[in-house]
């Protein structure tokens, strides 16, 4: 027996105890039997239909029939609320008791890119994102690689990895942490590490539009391709924006898609070099698990190494698989 059914039968029994002994005194036996049978199910519409028919056939019992329907509806709604509360409590308990490797979801992305700036080429891009959402904590892991090689010579080699935990203080206020790694020899550094922590706020949290911002101190270490290394205190500012344009966008006769724009901007500021990463994308959902994505990224360093330019752009066309 399901939890919902058990809750309903309990409420039905209580309903019977609360029923006046003369509730059906003026109704014929077949009508009383139909109402009793309908009370065994949690179908308010069916019960209402039977009550309406009884009222039309035996109009002298309207007051009592309406009272029966009101009590029945109250009991059904209470049973449904109880079942929902117990289901949510069970789900919360499951999340709290989950192991370290439980409740992870993810996305794999594969496609091509077109780059301009320190390198002008076309190549392959791939990324993997994992997320574990708990009651108060959310953990996010991201890895991305852009790579291209022509005639045995590497023309593009960019790697990125990040780990970001969030702790929800309230429904809108959160505390974040961030550990980040980058490698891009064509921008002039063999490795760049950054750690940060601070506070964030969900400015807009609607069904179709979400906007959040975060800020905090940061510490960054950059290892340049010429052998130099720099360590600096910095500050981080981040903005995440998502806008669901429509729930259903028909691309072909048989394919439904969801199209949404998503953009994120992150700025790391220090006295020597300010870095900006801005990404805007358009997603079209092909199926429940597969999404097509077109994105455009701008990467800016105010003080690049000698021989490198300040701004790189990346246009990506990819397919995303949710798992």
| Better pLDDT: 260 or 278 | 278
The residue count of the chain comes to: 323
Full domain range(s) for residue 274: 104-322
The candidate with the shortest Cα–Cα distance to 126, out of 322, 317, 265, 259, is 317
Q: Of 72, 96, 120, which marks where a domain is finished? A: 96
283, 135: one domain: yes
150, 216: one domain: yes
39, 84: one domain: yes
| Better pLDDT: 89 or 145 | 145
Q: Are strands 121-133 and 104-116 parallel, antiparallel or unpaired?
A: antiparallel
Q: Of 63, 96, 129, which marks where a domain is finished? A: 96
305, 189: one domain: yes
> pLDDT at position 116, please?
85
Angle of the 62-96 helix axis to the 44-57 helix axis, nearest 10: 180
Tokens of 168: 């929800």
Residues 142, 166 contacting (CB under 8 angstroms): no
3-state secondary structure of 57: helix
Tokens of 282: 């358009």
85, 124: one domain: no
> pLDDT at position 305, please?
80
**144-150 mean pLDDT:** 85
CA atoms within 13 A on the CB side of 81: 7
Residues 300, 267 contacting (CB under 8 angstroms): no
64-121 pLDDT, tens digit per residue, is 788 888 888 888 888 888 888 888 887 777 777 777 778 889 999 999 988 888 777 7
240, 307: one domain: yes
111, 133: one domain: yes
46, 118: one domain: no
Signed CA dihedral, 268, 178, 244, 285: sign only: positive
* pTM of the model as a whole: 0.68
Euclidean distance between CA atoms 222 and 228, whole angstroms: 8
Euclidean distance between CA atoms 106 and 244, whole angstroms: 20
Lowest mean pLDDT among 25-29, 98-102, 130-134, 256-260: 256-260
Q: Of 76, 96, 116, which marks where a domain is finished? A: 96
Euclidean distance between CA atoms 14 and 253, whole angstroms: 53
173, 295: one domain: yes
- Give how many domains the chain has, as a whole number: 2
155, 264: one domain: yes
214, 295: one domain: yes
Euclidean distance between CA atoms 150 and 153, whole angstroms: 5
**28-34 mean pLDDT:** 75
CATH code, domain carrying 291: 2.40.160.40
The residue ranges of DSSP E strands in 101-255, in sequence order, are 104-116, 121-133, 137-150, 153-168, 173-184, 189-205, 209-224, 229-250
Lowest mean pLDDT among 92-96, 123-127, 242-246: 92-96
Let me know if 305 is exposed, middle or buried by CB neighbors in 10 A (0-12, 13-18, 19+).
Answer: middle
88, 111: one domain: no
């Amino acid at each position: 027996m399901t939890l919902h059914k058990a809750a309903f039968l309990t409420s039905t029994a209580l309903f019977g105890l609360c029923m006046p002994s003369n509730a059906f005194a003026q109704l014929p036996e077949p009508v009383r039997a139909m109402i009793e049978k309908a009370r065994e199910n949690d179908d308010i519409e069916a019960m209402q239909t039977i009550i309406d028919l009884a009222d039309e056939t035996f109009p002298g019992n309207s007051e009592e029939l309406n009272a029966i329907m009101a009590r029945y509806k109250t009991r059904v709604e209470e049973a449904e609320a109880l079942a929902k509360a117990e289901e949510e409590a069970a789900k919360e308990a499951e999340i709290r008791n989950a192991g370290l490797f439980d409740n992870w979801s993810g996305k794999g992305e594969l496609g091509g890119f077109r780059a301009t700036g320190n390198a002008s080429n076309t190549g392959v891009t791939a990324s993997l994102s994992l997320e574990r959402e708990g009651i108060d904590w959310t953990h996010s892991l991201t890895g991305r690689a852009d790579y291209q090689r022509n005639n045995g010579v590497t023309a593009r080699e960019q790697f990125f990895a990040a780990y970001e935990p969030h702790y929800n203080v309230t429904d809108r206020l959160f505390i974040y942490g961030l550990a980040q790694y980058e490698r891009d020899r064509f921008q002039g550094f063999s490795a760049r590490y950054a750690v940060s922590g601070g506070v964030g706020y969900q400015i807009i949290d609607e069904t179709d539009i979400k906007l959040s911002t975060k800020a905090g101190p940061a510490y960054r270490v950059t290892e340049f391709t010429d052998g130099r290394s720099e360590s600096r205190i910095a500050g981080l500012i981040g903005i995440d924006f998502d806008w669901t344009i429509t729930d259903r966008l028909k691309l072909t006769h048989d394919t439904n898609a969801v199209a949404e724009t998503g953009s994120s901007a992150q700025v790391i500021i220090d006295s020597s070099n300010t870095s900006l990463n801005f990404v805007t994308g358009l997603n079209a959902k092909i199926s429940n698990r597969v999404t097509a994505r077109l994105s455009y990224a701008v990467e800016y360093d105010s003080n690049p190494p000698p021989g490198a330019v300040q701004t790189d752009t990346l246009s990506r066309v990819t397919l995303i698989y949710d798992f």
